[in-house]
């Protein structure tokens, strides 16, 4: 058992850092044993730094540290670009992860059952709506079938099967032709032209 | 290997001490003698008394799951089976004082709600921090550093769970923490500059000893002599010609020329 393994005498560096200015992010890792913890760390941090930091700031005794740098996929142009330029490639900064083996196990608090406090319903609906809006401005938006297509197909099927009959537009809705013109805007003074 | 394979069983029987009474009849004697020309055995079937080779693992295969040839001491003990359903697994007891709890605002849920994140005051400003000691500022810096870790952990979890809103509040909280940290750094740099200036002044101050021997501050007598106003004015007038004498016009070009060289 790892928890019974005798601890080595902790040897720490002698350089004192009074104002550490970096951020650690603890990750939820349900598929690894509970005496392991994984962090997102800045690329400049090394294993000895992390061991020292966890011991002095959080009182966590660490048996060992494993480190891993995850290269990111290349993407077109920088993430903040308004119109990503084609064939201008950009690779985001790598992500460094470190896994520490701790003396005592730790399990994350459970995931919340309901997300009403975060207003998840509105959040999801807004995201969905935004995606639909964005799809309209994509270059292949015209080629994709519209929403009305299903309705048109249903109506055509109903006509073909004889469930509905074709109705022409009633004559009262059409333009009335052959009647005298009536001036609608009587209060507007028109400039007199010509002689 | 002086005897051939065919006669080996018979020879062994003869050599065995238990079978010593059995003496074959004399008409079998030619069969006991080794044939000179015969190289292979008469029978093509293999003898059951001898294995094919000295391989002790023959027939044991992991691919066919044969198992071992002989039972082991633990063979009767049933093997433990892995629990595939996570809900049926035994719960790990986490200590109340585990250090990783400091990466969370509460022990009940993995992240704050937007209301909880928004429930904070303003950042510390520089004017308030100027009066604090180094110990106070250092402690406040560490509170800020741990709070930033907490905010980052919870923001990552909220994004992973797609929990909903709360990014704005957490970013605002983070910016307030960072502004506090910036104020701490500003106060410390102000102190550093004033200390540096004080060192320059102390070098020219006769009251302050920077040698390290004796007291650092030797206050001189501050009781000034009372000088009436009329005498003061006359003293000043006396001093003026002396100043004129001290600044000699001939001295200046010499200094300039020495500088130019």
Q: What is the pLDDT of residues B62-73, one digit of tens each?
A: 999 998 888 888
Sheet holding A36-41, edge to edge: A25-27, A36-41, A95-102, A62-70
- Asked whether the predicted pLDDT for residue B36 surpasses 70, the reply is no
| Average confidence (pLDDT) over B144-165 | 96
Q: Which residues contact B159 (CB under 8 A, 6 or more apart)?
A: B167
Q: Which residues pair with A62 in a beta bridge?
A: A102
Instruction: Tell me if A61 is assigned to some domain.
Output: yes
Which H or E element spans position A64?
strand A62-70
Tell me whether residue A95 is in a domain: yes
Task: Count structural domains, chain B.
Answer: 2
**For B100, which of A19, A37, A112 is closest by C-beta distance?**
A37
* Residue B109, domain member (yes or no): yes
Nearest CA in chain B to A126: B164
Task: Confirm whether B120 is domain-assigned.
Answer: yes
Q: Can you tell me the distance from the alpha carbon of A61 to that of A64, in angstroms, rounded to the nearest whole number? A: 9
- Which residue range is the domain that position B140 belongs to? 100-204
The predicted-structure confidence for B173-198, as pLDDT tens digits, reads as follows: 999 999 999 999 999 999 999 999 99
| Cβ atoms B99, A104 nearer than 8 A | no
Domains held by chain A: number: 1
Q: Does B160 contact A28 at a Cβ distance shorter than 8 Å?
A: yes
Which residue in A41, A167, A51 sits closest to A102, CA to CA? A51
Give the integer Cα–Cα distance in Å for B98 and B146: 15
C-beta atoms of A26 and B153 within 8 A: yes
Look up the CATH number of the domain holding residue A7: 3.30.70.330
The interface residues of chain A toward chain B in range 41-80, judged by CB-CB distance below 8 A, are 54, 57-60
Highest average pLDDT, of A20-29, B22-31, B219-228, comes from A20-29
Domain that holds residue A47: 2-102
Q: Which residues contact B150 (CB under 8 A, 6 or more apart)?
A: B102, B103, B104, B105
| Residue A25 with chain B: CB contacts under 8 Å | 149, 152-153, 156
Q: Examine the domain organization and report whether B29 and B116 are in the same domain.
A: no
pTM of the entire structure? Answer: 0.65
List Cα–Cα distances, A48 to A35, B117, B160, B230, in angstroms: 19, 33, 29, 76
- Give the span between the Cα atoms of B207 and B220, in whole angstroms: 7
**A23/B165 Cβ within 8 A:** no
Residue B138: inside a domain: yes
Q: Give the mean model confidence (pLDDT) for residues B34-42.
A: 64
- A64 inside domain: yes
One domain for residues B112 and B193: yes
ipTM: 0.74
Mean pLDDT of A21-29: 96
Residue A155 in any domain: the answer is no
User: Which stretch of A1-15, A84-98, B165-179 has the lowest confidence by average pLDDT?
Assistant: A1-15
Confidence category of residue B109, pLDDT binned at 50, 70, 90: very high
Residues B105 and B24 in one domain: no
Tell whether A154 is covered by a domain: no
Is the pLDDT higher at B150 or at A79? B150
Residue A115 lies in a domain: no
The pLDDT value recorded for residue B261 is: 38
């Amino acid at each position: 058992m790892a928890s019974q393994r005798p601890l080595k005498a902790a040897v720490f560096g002698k350089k004192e850092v009074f104002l550490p200015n970096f951020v650690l992010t603890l990750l939820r890792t349900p598929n690894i044993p509970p005496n392991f913890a994984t962090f997102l760390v800045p690329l400049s941090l090394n294993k000895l730094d992390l061991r020292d930091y966890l011991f002095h700031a959080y009182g966590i005794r660490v048996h060992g540290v494993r480190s891993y740098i995850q290269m990111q996929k290349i993407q077109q142009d920088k993430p903040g670009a308004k119109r990503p330029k084609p064939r201008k490639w950009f690779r985001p900064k790598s992500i460094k992860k470190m896994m520490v083996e701790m003396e005592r196990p730790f399990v994350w608090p459970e995931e919340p059952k309901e997300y009403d406090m975060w207003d998840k319903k509105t959040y999801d609906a807004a995201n969905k709506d935004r995606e639909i809006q964005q799809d309209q401005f994509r270059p292949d938006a015209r080629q994709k079938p519209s929403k009305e297509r299903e309705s048109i197909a249903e109506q055509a099927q109903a006509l073909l099967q004889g469930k509905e009959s074709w109705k022409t537009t009633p004559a009262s809705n059409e333009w009335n032709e052959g009647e005298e013109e009536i001036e609608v805007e009587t209060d507007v003074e028109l400039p007199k032209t010509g002689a | 290997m002086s005897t051939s394979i065919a006669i080996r069983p018979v020879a062994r029987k003869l050599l065995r001490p238990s079978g010593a009474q059995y003496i074959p009849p004399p008409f079998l004697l030619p069969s006991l003698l080794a044939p000179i020309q015969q190289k292979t055995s008469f029978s093509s079937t293999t003898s059951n008394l001898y294995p094919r080779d000295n391989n002790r693992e023959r027939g044991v295969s992991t691919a066919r799951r044969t198992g071992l040839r002989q039972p082991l001491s633990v063979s009767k003990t049933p093997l433990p089976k892995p629990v595939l359903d996570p809900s049926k697994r035994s719960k790990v007891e986490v200590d109340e004082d585990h250090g990783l709890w400091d990466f969370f605002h509460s022990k009940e849920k993995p992240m704050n709600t937007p209301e909880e994140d928004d429930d904070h005051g303003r950042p510390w400003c520089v004017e308030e921090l100027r009066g604090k000691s180094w110990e106070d500022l250092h402690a406040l810096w560490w509170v800020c550093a741990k709070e930033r870790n907490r905010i980052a952990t919870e923001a990552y979890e909220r994004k992973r769970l797609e929990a909903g809103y709360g990014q704005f509040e957490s970013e605002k909280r983070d910016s307030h923490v960072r502004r506090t940290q910036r104020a701490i750094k500003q106060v410390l740099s102000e102190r550093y500059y004033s200390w540096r200036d004080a060192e320059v002044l102390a070098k020219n101050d006769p009251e302050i000893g920077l040698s390290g021997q004796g007291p650092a501050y030797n206050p001189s007598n501050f009781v000034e002599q009372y000088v009436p106003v009329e005498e003061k004015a006359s003293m000043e007038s006396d001093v003026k010609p002396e100043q004129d004498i001290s600044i000699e016009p001939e001295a200046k070009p010499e200094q300039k020329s020495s500088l130019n060289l």
